[in-house]
Structure 1
Amino acid sequence: MLPDGWKHATIENLGAKGKPAVKAGPFGSSLKKEYYKPFGYKIYGQEQVISNDENYGNYFIDENKYNELKSCSVSPGDILISLVGTIGQTLLLSNSCQQGIINPRLLRVSLDKDRIIPAYIQYILASNYTQNILKRWAQGGTMGVLNAEMIKTFPILLPPLPEQKKIAAILSTWDRAIEGTEKLLANSQQQKKALMQQLLTGKKRLPGFTGEWKICSLSDVATVQTATSKTQYICENGERFIVDMGSVNRLGNLVCTKSTQHNADLLPKGTLVMPKDDIGGGNIIGRTSYIDRDDLYVLGDHVYALHIGDCDSKFLHFLINSHPINKNLRRRANGTAQLGLGKKDVLRQKIKIPSEFSEQKAIAAVLTTADEEITALESDLSRLRQEKKALMQQLLTGKRRVTVD
């Protein structure tokens, strides 16, 4: 049953008179690379849609070619839809968008702005519900493809204009909150990267520390343990977690999913775990995760456990995950279908560490605080996205009505 005042429509019904609601880009032969110019009328393609930035990219055509392809031109408030590969992604053009045309990989949706709020339609097209339908509709083998007819006939639940406007404004507020949190997260990640480059090399010293740093091998401060597969001990609702090749991600975070009751090869707090094998990539080899609790984790196969002696283990965790050290370790990995890092190659790795244990600990504390800030922002971002998703499901279906001034 339709909410009061709402009606059924399709995208095709929502266009302005004299202009098709949905228009595909020109045939590829009409827009060859040889027509591209260093300036002129902008060519909009997937790069703008995927980056969500209408100013991205620098492909242009001259006035003659623009006039020839003017049926594919764009206006403020048009919605661009990606047709190939990353299908269904959308971009709403602003009032200050550059004059130009779409390329063959995009569709343009032009709406009658006297009765339609373009941002409302974009939210419908970007919703999980719509995206799932578009992916099912996409045709082709390994690369999905949409076409104009699919979008034209897409069904829309359309509230009155004032309600469209209010819903779009509410969701836009959530978008700004998400965008702000994304920027804070990116800044925090960049700041941590800069701190690691400065603090882990001795280029920047924390107040009160002046002693020399020493060069040594990992074998001077760590021993390496291996273990056998624990697959046979996996069980539901186990009290412990198995640490294996898939338990360390590219950021050095511990992401264990296999639980167990097994109580052999238990890892003490302060142990570092390092994937020694990686099928088809090498992106996690040599990364470490820090074990933060005694006897909660069980060592499995394809992973080294580094037991740390004359060094702060948290400091060493950050040092090994720093770009130059991790790059050296990954270079030593060898193999074809499966890359592998030898124990001797790990123990030979040269490192430079503060002579004072207290300085190691202080550096680790600064970087741990940076990690905690990043984790908190990631949690905030995940929550905002989930809340926006739930709100969209309610507002765009009329299950939750808004008060219109």
Structure 2
Amino acid sequence: MRFPEFSGEWEKCKVSELLDFYSTNSLCWEQLEYDTENISNLHYGLIHVGLPTMVNLVQDRLPNIKDGNKPKNYELCKEGDVAFADASEDTNEVAKAIEFYNLNGRDVICGLHTIHGRDNKDRTVVGFKGYAFSSTAFHNQIRRIAQGTKIYSISTKNFSECYIGIPSKVEQAKIASLLHLIDERIVTQNKIIEDLKKLKSAISERLFNAIKGDVVVLEDIGDVVKGKQINGEFLSESGKYYVMNGGIEPSGFYNDYNVEANTISISEGGNSCGYVQFNACPFWSGGHCYTIQNTTDNVKTEYLYQFLKSKESEIMKLRIGSGLPNIQKKDLAKFKITIPNISEQKVISAFLSSFERKADVEMNFVNLLLEEKQYLLRQMFI
């Protein structure tokens, strides 16, 4: 795929001939902190999670080196420099790259498990390399040469075996501009979704704090049912019925379900215990998952979900244990619920559900943008 105004072959170039590489440091998170004026340090964990392909320090954050930990020798990053994560448990994440698009006057160095590269020959424009090194064509090469069993890794020597395609600078700039605009739109969409969630949360808190009605405990209006554990060997990566098992996301898929659609689940154990979810489809409730079943006629399930969701932080305070926290069934069963009349429940649940539907629409748009970006990363590079 190509913009129609360009023609001619791209130059095929070894990565080791395009980039010069500089030494990096091995500072760990304990030696870093945020929001100081010290030198900023790129930790490989931020390449995997937290930073976009084009790093703009006007809006993106990097930690700073704590006093007394500055390396003796280092190379300051320049705009247009790239950094790769040299290790990962996933071959798709090995050599994941970012490019410093705008340093905003900050001094930045590359740290633990990163590879710092620079195009000293000025063959590329700022913004092109980050996307070229994120392309499918590049990562297919990396997957073939990444070494390891549980942890996969690369070194600068591997870049003598990898190639990228380089078009004219004008074409590079147009490709980078398109992908950067998509990235910025994704950031905007995520901000819209986050603001919708905050708005709904604030309205829910105010609404339920003022609501009048009978105060009962959860076990008075429904059964708190603990799920049934399934060994991981029986789970698959896709299927008809998802499995909820003590997390925010499904832990896999199974060929059967033990809970009907339109049921509330609450995570029983792990770091997310207390997380409340409404399940519109049948699913399998695992060993670290509670469901609320057989609710009484005077309670709408949608209202109960919205009430419990608004009180999620209070439910999480029921946790016991430190290493692997959990919520006891007896404690959850005694959680207090305010129940207004049915008509008021319907109005409240319909109003709050509208925020969730709006957030779902915006999230679907984010997913479409992500699909579009991945498609372009597959089709626009050689």
TM-score by length of 2: 0.73
Contact 2:318 2:327 in 1 (8 A): no
State the 1:259 CA deviation.
5.0
Q: Render the CA deviation track for 1:296-352: whole Å, top value 9, x for unaligned.
A: 679898754522222222110122233245325554xx899996743x54432222x
- The structure with the larger Rg is 1
Q: Which runs of 5+ in 1 are unaligned?
A: 16-20, 206-211, 235-239, 398-405
**Judging changes above 3 Å, is the alpha-carbon distance between structure 1 residues 173 and 101 closer, same or farther for their aligned structure 2 residues?**
closer
Rounded to whole Å, the distance in 2 between the matches of 1:60 and 1:227 is: 46
Residue 320, structure 1, aligned to residue 308, structure 2: yes
**Judging changes above 3 Å, is the alpha-carbon distance between structure 1 residues 255 and 190 closer, same or farther for their aligned structure 2 residues?**
farther
Rounded to whole Å, the distance in 1 between the matches of 2:102 and 2:285 is: 58
The partner residue of 2:99 within 72, 84, 92 is 92
Tell me the equivalent position of 1:7: 11
Contact 2:15 2:163 in 1 (8 A): yes
Rounded to whole Å, the distance in 2 between the matches of 1:298 and 1:242 is: 7
Q: Which runs of 5+ in 2 are unaligned?
A: 1-6
Residue 59, structure 1, aligned to residue 47, structure 2: no
Partner amino acid, structure 2, of 1:222: G
**Judging changes above 3 Å, is the alpha-carbon distance between structure 1 residues 44 and 285 closer, same or farther for their aligned structure 2 residues?**
closer
Tell me the equivalent position of 1:360: 345
**Judging changes above 3 Å, is the alpha-carbon distance between structure 1 residues 157 and 285 closer, same or farther for their aligned structure 2 residues?**
same
Contact 2:218 2:335 in 1 (8 A): yes
Tell me the equivalent position of 2:333: 347
Residue 120, structure 1, aligned to residue 128, structure 2: yes
Tell me the equivalent position of 1:213: 213
**Judging changes above 3 Å, is the alpha-carbon distance between structure 1 residues 193 and 11 closer, same or farther for their aligned structure 2 residues?**
same
Q: Percent same amino acid among aligned pairs?
A: 17
Partner amino acid, structure 2, of 1:88: A
Contact 2:241 2:254 in 1 (8 A): yes
The partner residue of 1:390 within 363, 375, 378 is 375
1:93 alignment partner, SS class = strand
Rounded to whole Å, the distance in 1 between the matches of 2:121 and 2:271 is: 51
**Judging changes above 3 Å, is the alpha-carbon distance between structure 1 residues 103 and 114 closer, same or farther for their aligned structure 2 residues?**
closer
2:199 alignment partner, SS class = helix
Contact 2:213 2:340 in 1 (8 A): yes
Q: Could you say what the CA RMSD is over the residues aligned between the two structures, in angstroms? A: 4.3
Residue 250, structure 1, aligned to residue 237, structure 2: no
Rounded to whole Å, the distance in 1 between the matches of 2:225 and 2:85 is: 50
State the 1:382 CA deviation.
0.9
Q: Render the CA deviation track for 1:218-251: whole Å, top value 9, x for unaligned.
A: 23322456898999xx9xxxxx9768644x8627
Partner amino acid, structure 1, of 2:11: K
Rounded to whole Å, the distance in 2 between the matches of 1:59 and 1:298 is: 45
2:133 alignment partner, SS class = helix
1:283 alignment partner, SS class = coil
Partner amino acid, structure 2, of 1:43: S
Partner amino acid, structure 1, of 2:14: T
Residue 69, structure 1, aligned to residue 89, structure 2: no
Tell me the equivalent position of 1:400: none
State the 1:198 CA deviation.
2.1
The partner residue of 1:148 within 153, 156, 163 is 156
Rounded to whole Å, the distance in 1 between the matches of 2:125 and 2:315 is: 50
Rounded to whole Å, the distance in 1 between the matches of 2:171 and 2:105 is: 29
